[in-house]
Amino acid sequence: MSARTLRFVVPAAFAAAAAVGFLARGAGAEERPEETVKALRFRQFIVESAMDQIHGGGRWHDVLFLPDRKLVAQVVWETEVTWKPEYKSTEHARMYVFEGTLEEQIEARPKDDPEVKPPEEIRIPAALAKEIADLADLTKRQKELSLRLGKSAVDAKAVGGKESVKGR
């Protein structure tokens, strides 16, 4: 088979495969609805640090709880500032995921705020739930790896131990 013939055969094969898929679904048939999983959505008061909380900081954010994996997925809005090549401020949503229970999260909320409402049951795309679970696994692995590497760096004397840390 020549290269010229191959150029025509490959596109024809893709077209045939697409046609077979179209016919197998049924001509003009509706796409199947996206698979979804149960999640609970609620509002949670999130502070960036103890110092933030002491000075009255913190904001309410939407949080997802995935009961099948007992995962808490906080979606927070953060501002990222870059200075080079020029000043730029960008706000974006970032997700933090960790294992936990819904009860722990509900208990941690301020009780006397109008933002406090019962969790709402929703359905989210199964693909999103899988990615949230993947992020939880990666986050756990990153934490374990950073602790192990920190210890290894100290043990190898590549960096000083705790006694080497000095204030100003």
Q: CA–CA distance from 101 to each of 71, 86, 141 (Å)?
A: 7, 43, 20
pLDDT computed for residue 36 by the predictor: 96
Residue 15 has pLDDT above 70, yes or no: no
pLDDT computed for residue 159 by the predictor: 94
Residue 6 has pLDDT above 80, yes or no: no
Residue 14 has pLDDT above 50, yes or no: no
Nearest to 66 by CA among 19, 13, 136, 15: 136
pLDDT computed for residue 20 by the predictor: 45
Predicted structure pTM score: 0.70
The DSSP secondary structure of 62-81, one letter per residue, reads EEEEETTTTEEEEEEEEEEE
Give the Cα separation of 60 and 39 in Å (integer).
19
Looking at the DSSP assignment, which residues form a beta bridge with residue 95?
Answer: 75
Give the number of C-alpha atoms closer than 13 A to the C-alpha of residue 82, restricted to the C-beta side.
6
**Average per-residue pLDDT for the chain:** 83
Task: Please indicate whether residue 32 or residue 91 has the higher confidence score (pLDDT).
Answer: 91
Percent of the chain with pLDDT over 90: 51
**Banded pLDDT at 27 (limits 50, 70, 90):** low
- Nearest 5°: the CA angle 13, 15, 19 is 115
pLDDT computed for residue 98 by the predictor: 94
Task: Please indicate whether residue 18 or residue 116 has the higher confidence score (pLDDT).
Answer: 116
Number of Cβ within a 10 Å radius of residue 130: 12
Residue 59 has pLDDT above 70, yes or no: yes
